[in-house]
Amino acid sequence: MSIEFSFESKKRIYESTRRYFREQFDEDIGLLQFERFFDFVVRSIGATIYNQAVSDAQAWLQRKVLDLEGDLHEEVEPG
């Protein structure tokens, strides 16, 4: 699966990365450098982060479904 980013998202990430490189390393990262760096990061750790997010969402949904089951069922009185 390929992770895709909208133009707006990638632009925000680029600006944030440029700011980080300036503040942390006193370096200005150009668009080409960013593209290569960003592609490397996405290829290297993107799937791991994506899979963890999916696992977290599944666990959250499972907890909500269990809560919903308890909320929807009425107790039956014996007898």
Mean pLDDT by runs of 10 across the 79 residues of the chain is 88 97 96 95 93 96 84 73
Determine the pLDDT at residue 1.
66
**Residue 8 is which amino acid?**
E
Q: Is the pTM higher than 0.75?
A: no
DSSP summary character for residue 78: P
Determine the pLDDT at residue 65.
87
- In degrees rounded to 5, what are phi and psi of residue 13? -65, -40
